[in-house]
Amino acid sequence: MQTYTPPLRDMKFVLTELHDFSRLTALEAFSEVDADLAETVLEEGGKFTSEVLLPLNMSGDREGCRLENGVVTTPHGFRDAYRQFCEGGWSALSAPPEYGGQGLPETIGMMLSEMICATNLSFGLYPGLTGGAMVALRKYGSEELKAQYLPKMISGEWSGSMCLTEAHCGTDLGLLRTKAVPQEDGTYRLSGSKIFISAGEHDLSENIIHLVLARLADAPAGIKGISLFLVPKFLLRDDGTPGERNGVLCTGIEHKMGIKASATCQLAFDDAKGWLVGAPHKGMQAMFAMMNAERLGVGIQGLGIAEVAYQSAVAYAKERLQGRSLAGAKYPALPADPIVVHPDVRRMLMTMRVNAEGCRALGAWVAMALDVAEHGGDERERRDAEDFVALMTPVVKAMFTDLGFESANLAMQTYGGHGYIADHGVEQFVRDSRIAMIYEGTNGIQALDLVGRKLPAHMGRNLRGLFHPIAAFIAENKENPLLGEMVTGLERAFGALQLATGQIAERGMKDPEEAGAAATDYLRLIGLVSLAYLWARTVAIAVPKSFAAGPDQAFYSAKIASARFFYDRVLPESASLYLKIKAGKASMMALADDAF
Ligand SMILES: Cc1cc2nc3c(=O)[nH]c(=O)nc-3n(C[C@H](O)[C@H](O)[C@H](O)COP(=O)(O)OP(=O)(O)OC[C@H]3O[C@@H](n4cnc5c(N)ncnc54)[C@H](O)[C@@H]3O)c2cc1C
């Protein structure tokens, strides 16, 4: 069964013990927020997601979306859930107060997103896309556009979509052909076809605000000739309410492996009226604001799936009776022991557990930096936080979604054949989570972004926010008896990361294919070392607290056990990743193209 209890205790640990939530609440923008408020909000969010969204997850998957005469109908129950989502103020949670948002930190917003993605990934795409569209609009839209559209998008009455992909152009957006023609009144007319547009058409909101990449007639070729436009499904009347239908039509929805309750649409723009967002030909810059928000959001999808897959697997492993423990029957009164006793099942459960808890800890670190980047007190503080977010965005997107998919697969394996059949809903996790490794820039492209752009930017400055705290922690804790061998393990993995970074910088400068060949392994290596650092800090916090008798003793003891598992069973991958990076491109590129 799909099993989910919101991981509120771990969220609290991550926010207030592992990371310093008071650093956020000390910022002027969050002066009315405190840890108690955050806890209450997350508790309520946990209720909404587990009581309203989770029950629609399997039924939504079975029913899917329907398209009839250009109208997309979402599965039974989605409209009501979306209405409750908006009425509960969830769409406005971390949106800016000047447009009607509640102004809570993005860090809390991301934790809510985790719970939404865990309980119903398909549902999460609708508000997720709106959130990304709002980021681009806020940053690059004119004051008039912002005033007209943001309040309704924040309330959820109107939703957003992101229209980049065309049939012949996915990763390489420089190839896109959708055209925009300027009009005398300052607006534009757009024509062209887009595919794979999530939430491009549906019945949840009153209007859909498409952010569309298109090319002006005088645009330079390639990526430098792309502009961003706002194209509403319904044009606004003078009083700001939706009126006449604009020239955007849904011509098809994709039949796909998973996230079946999320409408993935083909859209035809036929002389559709649009407004420029940002400067002409600078659309990629504006779109990147949206894509970065979406990339972090997609990483959180991986985390959500990792958590629900773990919990569902644990529930089954405690119930399913097969075989006896290798150490002798542990439950002799039963006809067989529950499979949770078997080391190989433990291997899977522990891997899933550290995937979810590690990603939550790292995700919160990045989310807090995102809040500081936007609201930090001084320029230096904001710049440092921005650097860190820039470095970690591809890591969060790619590593979290890889690990989410790994956990979904392990959950299926834990269920055996009962995971492969549809009854328990575990195969849905595998199908749903797979897309997260592909959309918003494939994970391979994230790795290229990391080594090709984020590492060399500002002469390597982005690395400081990660490398400095790790180096300081190692130096301070070399003799810390609470950590024992762990610091040595961290130091070794960090050393491999530093060597790999130097090699990529040196070889990549001479030969970009060398950087490309190392990219995916490097992304995982930097991700693993970041997790190792956070697990070591977790242990330093948990050991003293684990001695105090009380309700939390089991929580801290489990944290220590999980950290040990990570160091014994996951972190050793860093050595093989380093060897792969060191091997370079030679064997990868040896075959001629026509030899495949
Ligand atoms: C369910 C779903 C929802 C989606 N939602 C949206 C949406 O809302 N809006 C939107 O605009 N798009 C959306 N997409 C599109 C999605 O973002 C693209 O599918 C994705 O970016 C990859 O593009 P592509 O499929 O054309 O693959 P391609 O670009 O053809 O890539 C194929 C393979 O080649 C690799 N590759 C390509 N170029 C390079 C390179 N330069 N270096 C190294 N490797 C390379 C890729 O990593 C990949 O493995 C969605 C797709 C799906 C399936």
Q: What is the 3-state secondary structure (H, E, C) of 465-489?
A: HHHHHHHHHHHHHCCCCCCCCHHHH
Low-confidence ranges of the chain (pLDDT < 50): none
Residue nearest to atom 52 of ligand 1 (CA): 196
Give which of 560, 106, 38, 165 is closest to 372, Cα–Cα: 106
Cα separation, 346 vs 75, in Å, equals 37
* Element containing residue 158 per DSSP (H, E): strand 158-163
436 lines ligand 1 (CB under 6 A): no
Query: In this structure, is residue 558 part of a structural domain?
Result: yes
- From the alpha carbon of 164, which atom of ligand 1 is closest? 11
Given ligand 1 and candidates 72, 159, 165, 589, which is best to mutate, with the most ligand atoms within 8 Å of its CB? 165
Residue 271 CA to ligand 1 center (angstroms) comes to 26
Give me ligand 1 centre to Cα 420, in Å: 27
The reply to whether ligand 1 has any atom less than 6 angstroms from the CB of 101 is: no
Q: What is the pLDDT of residue 261?
A: 98
123, 261 Cβ separation under 8 angstroms: yes
- Which atom of ligand 1 is found nearest the CA of 442? 47
> Could you tell me if the CB of 439 is within 6 A of ligand 1?
yes
171 alpha carbon to ligand 1 midpoint, in Å?
A: 5
Spot the catalytic one: 440, 476, 491, 514. Answer: 440
Pocket test residue of 171, 177, 256 for ligand 1, highest count of atoms within 8 A of CB? 171
- Number of domains within the chain: 1
Q: Which of 61, 169, 438 to mutate to test the pocket of ligand 1 (most atoms within 8 A of CB)?
A: 438
Distance CA 421, CA 162 (A): 34
Q: Within a domain: residue 171? A: no
Tell me whether residue 67 is in a domain.
Answer: no
Residue 482: inside a domain, yes or no? yes
Q: How far is the CA of 155 from the centre of ligand 1 (A)?
A: 30
| Ligand 1 lined by 283 (C-beta under 6 Å) | no
Q: Per-residue pLDDT tens for 396-410?
A: 999 999 999 999 999
pLDDT recorded at residue 294? 84
Which residue segment(s) compose the domain that 575 sits in? Answer: 451-589
Question: In this structure, is residue 539 part of a structural domain?
Answer: yes
Q: What's the Cα-to-Cα distance from 562 to each of 217, 348, 536, rounded to whole Å?
A: 57, 12, 11
Ligand 1 pocket, residue 159 CB under 6 Å: no
In a domain, residue 564? The reply is: yes
Measured in angstroms, how far is the CA atom of residue 197 from the centroid of ligand 1?
12
Q: Is the CB of 256 under 6 A from ligand 1?
A: yes
What is the 401 CA–ligand 1 centroid distance (Å)?
Answer: 15
Assess whether 427 carries a catalytic annotation.
no
Is the CB–ligand 1 distance for residue 441 below 6 Å?
A: yes
Q: Give the distance (Å) from ligand 1 centre to CA of residue 300.
A: 19
From 250, 269, 290, select the one nearest 136 (Cα to Cα): 290
- pLDDT given at position 218: 87
The whole-number pLDDT of residue 157 equals: 97
Maximum alpha-carbon separation in the chain: 83
Distance 442 CA to ligand 1 centre (A): 6
pLDDT of residue 288: 79
Tell me, using a 6 A CB cutoff, whether residue 163 lines ligand 1: yes
Pick the closest to residue 354 from 168, 142, 562 (CA basis): 562
pLDDT at 289: 73
Helix (H, G, I), strand (E, B), or coil: what is residue 125? helix
488 occurs within a structural domain: yes
CB of 132 sitting under 6 A from ligand 1: no
The distance from CA 262 to its chain's CA centroid, rounded to whole angstroms, is: 16
For a mutational test of ligand 1's pocket, the pick from 125, 163, 196, i.e. the residue with the most ligand atoms closer than 8 A to its C-beta, is: 196
Rounded to the nearest angstrom, the distance between the alpha carbon of 294 and the centre of ligand 1 is 14
Residue 572 CB less than 6 A away from ligand 1: no
- Residue 300: both structure tokens together: 């959180």
Pairing of strands 207-216, 179-182: parallel
Identify the burial level of 461 via C-beta atoms within 10 angstroms of its C-beta, where 0-12 means exposed, 13-18 middle and 19 or more buried. Answer: middle
Q: Residue 540 domain-assigned? A: yes
The residue whose CA has the least distance to atom 24 of ligand 1 is 170
Please name which of 293, 259, 295, 257 lies closest in space to residue 121, comparing C-alpha atoms: 259
